[in-house]
Amino acid sequence: MYSIIRQAHSGIAYLLLAALIVSVIYALASRKKTFTAGGRKIALTGLIFAHLQLLLGLILYFISPLGVSNFSGEAMKDRLSRLYVMEHPLTMIIAIILITIGYSRIKKQTTDRKKYNSMIIYYGIALILALAVIPWMVWP
C-alpha cells in the first residue's frame, strides 16, 4: 500500500505542476481578456490536484518511514531527512493554502483583471514554493 500511495503522490505531482504552470501562463496571456468559465476551470483543476496531493501527502507522512516516525533531533541534522520530515510538508501545505486562497479570491473578485491577477500571484507563488521543495534527487 505504501508504494502505491508513494507512486500516486509522485504522479499527481506532475499533474499539479502542469496545472499550476498552465494556470499561470493562461492568466498571463489572458489578462486583458474577459474571465471565462474556461479560466475558472483551469484554476479549479489546479485546486483539485493540490488538495488530492495534500491528502496523499498526509497519508504518506504518517505511514512512511521517512515521515513522522523519523522526526528527531538527528533527522534535523541530515539534509534529506529534514526535507522529508519538515521542509517539504510545511512548504507544500503553505503552497496549497495559497492555491486555495487564490481560487477563493478568483471567485470573489469583481473585475476580470483582478481575477487574473489573483491567479498569477497566488498560483505563481505556490508554483515557486512547490518547485523549491520537491526532493529532486530522488523524484522519479
Q: Is the pLDDT confidence value at 112 over 80?
A: yes
Indicate whether this model's pTM tops 0.75: yes
Q: Is the pLDDT confidence value at 65 over 80?
A: no
Residue 112 located in a structural domain = yes
**Predicted local distance difference test score (pLDDT) of residue 110:** 92
Per-residue cell: 106 = 478568483
Q: Is the pLDDT confidence value at 74 over 80?
A: no
Q: How many domains in the chain? A: 1
**Predicted local distance difference test score (pLDDT) of residue 140:** 67
Residue 53 located in a structural domain = yes
Residue 138 located in a structural domain = no
Distance of CA 76 to the CA centre of its chain: 24
Share of the chain above pLDDT 90, in %: 71
Q: CA angle, corner 129, sides to 83 and 38, nearest 5? A: 135
Structural domain range at position 48: 2-133
Cα separation, 67 vs 84, in Å, equals 6
Q: Is the pLDDT confidence value at 32 over 70?
A: yes
Cα separation, 104 vs 96, in Å, equals 12
Q: Is the pLDDT confidence value at 66 over 90?
A: no
* Mean pLDDT over each residue of the chain, to the nearest integer: 91
**Predicted local distance difference test score (pLDDT) of residue 76:** 75
Residue 139 located in a structural domain = no
Q: Work out the pLDDT band at 2, boundaries 50, 70, 90.
A: confident
**Predicted local distance difference test score (pLDDT) of residue 99:** 98
Residues 6+ apart with CB under 8 A from 62: 68
Residue 59 located in a structural domain = yes
